[in-house]
């Protein structure tokens, strides 16, 4: 079994997946290509940050529309592990007008680019990240989009495990809940081992996520269910709805899902990642006007509003602490961090209130100090609001290494057996 794994990173951002995998073992995970492109921005800050931090050849990463990457290029990568944090979009599909058996996904939906890469390269492993609301999307047909994804991987020959992970429950500093999806070819040694287990044992004890982030043996409030996905993805898109819980496994279209709870919950306090106050520029401290505005935004309120059709109603909002508790974990960081809004972190140190600095926001996600240096502060906050918690990827990378060390199936054999 070869020791290295060729990695392709899609929707790379500032490189959180790559950084986490290389922390696990840079000699095992070799990123052979990465794509990062923000269509709405003239200056590609995230791509430039990625390029600056990973000193590789220009052929190793791409700043172009991923849909424009030809299949011939994809075939050359010999991908073992495909990773990416893709946007949560509408995954509905329909019959192709040109071919009754073909499918058409909504244009511009980046998940179909993941599918295209998988179809062309058949990686052994796939590791994806998304917002936790993916499990309940869309609101009028809960679970449809996730079911379309599961059925897509089923048809491509993969077993899929998933788990919503809150980084602040597994030892880290940010209350960031994200869904992680791990798919693996169904004839790999690891897959064959899993096929001998019951689905509940995979989810609660022996699966990829159960081994990486151990959970209690019983589901929360007995929330557990099963479902068989229809064979026709169009039928799923048109009529399927299901409640997917925070963890689960899909094998050959059979889904087992449960609401799991972390076995030994722990966090890192926010104070542990703060800079020395002597290093914090005066511009990060609140002005009197900003302090007054935040007191209002974070306080309770009832406001009469009028809808577009003239209906009057009362908008109510509960109060929150005037400042964030630095002895607890940080709240979820958004792309709007450090702007004047309710979700922005405000801390009080030595009697003075201030924003988190860009460096502290990097640390909140587990990035090294000044990882995003060189771009405007506004973009540094934006990029960190979009980033994942690198420490989680390091943990998952270590588990992938452990799994792969026991594999006898090579990537070449994997492709031949599809």
> Tens digit of pLDDT for each residue in 107-126?
658 899 999 999 999 999 99
Residue 34 burial (10 A CB sphere; 0-12, 13-18, 19+): buried
Give the dihedral sign, CA 228/202/160/72.
negative
Residue 240, helix vs strand vs coil: coil
Fill in the DSSP letter of residue 173: S
Under 8 Å between Cβ of 37 and 68: no
């269910």: which residue's tokens? 225
| pLDDT-above-70 percentage for the chain | 93
User: In whole numbers, what is the pLDDT of the chain averaged over residues?
Assistant: 92
For the cut 60, the answer to whether the pLDDT of residue 229 exceeds it is yes
Report CA-CA distances (Å) from 223 to 44, 141, 259, 260: 44, 20, 5, 8
pLDDT at 232 over 60: yes
Residue 54 is predicted with a pLDDT of 94
- Quick one: pLDDT band at residue 183, thresholds 50, 70, 90? very high
β-strand pairing of 177-185 with 158-166:
antiparallel
pLDDT for residue 104 is more than 70: no
The model's pLDDT over 278-294, given as tens digits with 9 standing for 90+, comes to 999 999 999 999 999 99
- pLDDT (tens digit, 9 = 90+) per residue, 336-360? 999 999 999 999 999 999 999 999 9
Planar angle of CA 144, 147, 150, nearest 5 degrees: 160
How high is the pLDDT of residue 403? Answer: 97
Q: Alpha carbon of 268 to those of 178, 260, 322, 337, 363: distances in Å?
A: 18, 21, 21, 20, 11
Quick one: average pLDDT of 59-67?
A: 88
Residue 148 and residue 92 in contact, taking contact as beta carbons nearer than 8 Å: yes
pLDDT at 93: 77
Residues 65, 35 contacting (CB under 8 angstroms)? no
pLDDT at 41: 85
Q: Where residue 98 falls among pLDDT bands split at 50, 70, 90?
A: low
- Predicted local confidence at residue 95, as pLDDT: 62
DSSP three-state, residue 316: strand
Confidence of residue 410 (pLDDT cuts 50, 70, 90): low
pLDDT given for residue 411 in this prediction? 47
Q: Does the pLDDT of residue 97 top 80, yes or no?
A: no
pLDDT value of position 241 = 96
For the stretch 357-373, pLDDT in tens is: 999 999 999 999 999 99
Radius of gyration of the chain (CA): 22
Q: Which residues are within 8 A (CB) of 23 and not within 5 positions of it... i.e. 6 or more apart?
A: 390, 393, 394, 397
Q: For the residues 184-208, what does the mean pLDDT come to?
A: 97
Confidence of residue 88 (pLDDT cuts 50, 70, 90): confident
Provide the pLDDT confidence category of residue 415 given band limits of 50, 70 and 90: very low
Smallest CA-to-CA distance from 215 within 165, 256, 160 is with 165
Domains of the chain: 5-266+389-416 (3.40.50.150), 270-376 (no CATH)
Q: What burial class does residue 111 get, using C-beta atoms within 10 Å of its C-beta: 0-12 exposed, 13-18 middle, 19+ buried?
A: buried
- What gap in Å lies between CA 161 and CA 362, rounded to an integer? 29
What average pLDDT does this structure show over 63-90? 90
* 13-42 tens-digit pLDDT: 999 999 999 999 999 999 999 999 998 889
pLDDT, residue 3, reads 84
pLDDT at residue 2 is higher than 70: no
Please check whether residue 98 is in contact with residue 53, taking contact to mean a CB–CB distance below 8 angstroms.
Answer: no
Residue 227 pLDDT greater than 80, yes or no: yes
- Region 161-175 average pLDDT: 98
Positions marked catalytic: 88
């Amino acid at each position: 079994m070869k020791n290295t794994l060729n990695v392709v990173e899609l929707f790379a951002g500032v490189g959180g997946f790559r950084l986490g995998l290389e922390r696990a073992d840079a000699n095992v995970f070799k990123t052979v290509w990465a794509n990062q492109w923000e269509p709405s921005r003239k200056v590609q800050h995230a791509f430039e940050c990625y390029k600056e931090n990973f000193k590789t050849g220009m052929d190793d990463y791409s700043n172009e529309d991923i849909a424009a990457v030809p299949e011939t290029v994809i075939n050359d990568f010999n991908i073992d592990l495909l990773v990416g944090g893709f946007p949560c979009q509408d995954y509905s599909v329909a019959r192709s007008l040109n071919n009754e058996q073909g499918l058409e996904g909504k244009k511009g939906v980046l998940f179909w680019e993941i599918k295209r890469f998988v179809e062309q390269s058949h990686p052994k492993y796939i590791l994806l990240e998304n917002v936790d609301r993916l499990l309940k999307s869309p609101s009028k047909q809960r679970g449809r989009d996730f079911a379309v994804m599961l059925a897509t991987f089923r048809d491509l020959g993969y077993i899929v495990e998933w788990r919503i992970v809150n980084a602040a429950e597994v030892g880290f500093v940010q209350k960031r809940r994200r869904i992680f999806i791990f798919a693996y070819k169904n004839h790999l040694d690891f897959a064959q081992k899993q096929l001998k287990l019951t689905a509940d044992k995979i989810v609660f004890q022996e699966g990829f996520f159960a081994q990486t982030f151990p959970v209690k043996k019983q589901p929360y409030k007995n929330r557990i269910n099963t479902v068989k996905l229809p064979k026709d993805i169009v039928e799923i898109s048109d009529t399927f709805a299901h409640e997917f819980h925070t963890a689960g496994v899909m094998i050959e279209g059979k889904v087992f899902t449960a609401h799991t709870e972390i076995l030994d919950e722990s966090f890192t306090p926010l104070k542990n990642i703060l800079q020395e106050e002597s290093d914090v520029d005066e511009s990060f401290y609140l002005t009197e006007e900003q302090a007054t505005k935040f007191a209002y935004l974070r306080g309770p309120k009832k406001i009469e509003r009028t809808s577009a059709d003239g209906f009057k109603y009362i908008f109510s909002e509960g109060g929150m602490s005037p400042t964030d508790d630095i002895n607890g974990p940080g709240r979820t960081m958004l792309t709007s961090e450090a702007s004047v809004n309710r979700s922005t972190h405000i801390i009080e140190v030595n009697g003075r209130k201030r924003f988190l600095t860009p460096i502290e926001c990097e640390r909140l996600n587990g990035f090294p100090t000044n990882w995003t240096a060189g771009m405007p502060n506004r973009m540094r906050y934006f990029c960190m609001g979009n980033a994942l918690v690198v420490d989680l990827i390091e943990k998952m990378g270590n588990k992938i290494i452990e799994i792969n060390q026991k594999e006898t199936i090579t990537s070449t054999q994997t492709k031949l057996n599809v």
